[in-house]
């Protein structure tokens, strides 16, 4: 999107160059602002010192900017960026929708807090886990907790066994696909399991059910473009609490009364 606004490829000068790295959600904040014709500005020289950085800047091959970075100034690109941002704010120019994370293979990753947009809801005991570099919201489910979603085509659920491992059941209510899998704990490397659900041309309800232990749900990847429910809204009230509450009935579904248990 920044390439579309400026005419330049940011990968040529971003901090990791062309070495593939997962970027954290705070980088997404800048993209969301730009989507609506706004921008965030950074001080130069930087005032931050990155205290508490788990990997030091030196280990990452980075240094803080201590003065103006004139080599990065590009007046023609900035003028184009500013003109297109003006058109965005006036409604004359609209950037492509970017509701879901698009992966390298072209599939979309739908996070748990986005399930409502594709006709999803939650039942049972769910709590929140902050995952800065993935989402950032991961949902932690206890035994008999359920997550429902309506999707088209083949999909893959991303789950982990959290700290101690567990079992998870995945169901397709159209094809009768029904599999229960043992999921290992994440461990120090953050191991996450991908559970594929095959499909041809179909649009159906799917569920993830916690059978034992505590399952952490990171989201679901879908190859096809998905039908969306409107209006789509998201506030803090849509999230489960950070600690397990009493059982939750149909978390999210109250926003769309047309969503019913399959």
| Residue 95 counted as domain residue | no
Q: Determine the Cα–Cα distance for residues 101 and 136; give it in Å rounded to an integer.
A: 12
Q: Is 238 found in the same domain as 111? A: yes
Residues 84 and 117 occupy one common structural domain: no
- Residue 261 lies inside a defined structural domain of this protein: no
- Do 228 and 180 belong together in one domain? yes
Last residue of a domain, one of 70, 90, 110: 90
Whose CA is closest to 135, among 11, 10, 23?
A: 23
pLDDT per residue, tens digit, the chain (262 aa), is 888 999 988 777 666 655 666 566 667 788 889 999 998 887 777 777 776 777 787 887 777 777 777 877 899 999 999 999 999 999 999 998 778 888 878 889 999 999 999 999 999 999 999 987 788 899 999 999 999 999 999 999 999 999 999 999 999 999 989 999 999 999 888 889 999 999 988 899 999 999 999 999 999 999 999 999 888 778 888 889 888 876 655 555 444 444 444 3
Predicted pLDDT of residue 231? 80
The DSSP element (H or E) to which 179 belongs, if any, is strand 178-183
**Domain end: 33, 63, 90, which one?**
90
**Model pLDDT, residue 226:** 93
Considering the domain architecture, whether residues 80 and 110 belong to the same structural domain is answered as no
Say if residue 8 is in the same domain as residue 70: yes
Residue 108 pLDDT: 92
The structure's pTM equals 0.74
Identify the pLDDT of residue 127: 95
Structural domains of the chain, count: 2
228/247 same-domain check: yes
Contact by Cβ (8 Å): 190, 181: no
| Closest listed residue to residue 202, CA positions, set 162, 243, 151, 251 | 151
- 72, 117: one domain: no
Same-domain status, 126 and 81: no
pLDDT at site 84: 96
Residues 170, 240: one domain? yes
Separation CA 133–CA 136 (nearest Å): 6
Show the domain range for 44. 2-90
State the Cα–Cα distance between residues 262 and 259, nearest whole angstrom.
9
Query: Rounded to whole angstroms, how far apart are CA atoms 243 and 60?
Result: 34
DSSP 8-state symbol, 114:
G
Residue whose C-alpha is closest to residue 6's, from 89, 74, 96: 74
Task: List alpha helices for 36-139, DSSP H.
Answer: 75-90
63 and 187 both lie in a single domain: no
Q: Which residues pair with 161 in a beta bridge?
A: none
Could you tell me if residue 262 is inside a domain? no
- What are the Cα distances from residue 206, in Å, to 115, 118, 153? 11, 11, 11
Q: Do residues 166 and 242 share a domain?
A: yes
């Amino acid at each position: 999107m920044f390439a579309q606004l400026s005419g330049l490829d940011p990968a040529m000068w971003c901090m990791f160059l062309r070495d593939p790295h997962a970027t954290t959600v705070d980088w997404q904040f800048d993209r969301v602002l730009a989507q609506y014709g706004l921008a965030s500005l950074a001080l130069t020289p930087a005032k931050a010192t990155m205290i508490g950085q788990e990997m030091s800047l030196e280990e990452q091959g980075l240094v803080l900017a201590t003065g103006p970075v004139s080599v990065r100034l590009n007046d023609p690109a900035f003028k184009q960026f500013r003109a297109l941002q003006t058109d965005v704010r006036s409604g004359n120019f609209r950037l492509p929708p970017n509701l879901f994370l698009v992966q390298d293979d072209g599939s979309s990753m739908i996070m748990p807090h986005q399930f409502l947009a594709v006709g999803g809801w939650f039942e049972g005991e769910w709590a929140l886990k902050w995952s800065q570099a993935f989402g950032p919201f991961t949902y932690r489910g206890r035994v008999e907790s359920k997550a429902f979603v309506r999707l088209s085509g083949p999909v893959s659920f991303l789950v982990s066994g959290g700290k101690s491992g567990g079992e998870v059941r995945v169901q397709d209510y159209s094809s009768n696909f029904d599999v229960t899998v043992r999921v290992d704990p994440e461990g120090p490397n953050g191991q996450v399991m991908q559970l594929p659900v095959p499909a041809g041309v179909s649009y159906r309800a799917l569920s993830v059910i916690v059978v034992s232990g505590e399952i952490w749900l990171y989201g679901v990847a879908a190859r096809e473009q998905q039908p969306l429910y409107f209006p789509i809204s998201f506030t803090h009230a849509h999230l489960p609490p950070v600690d397990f509450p009493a059982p939750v009935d149909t978390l999210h579904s109250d926003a769309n009364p047309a969503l019913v248990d399959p």
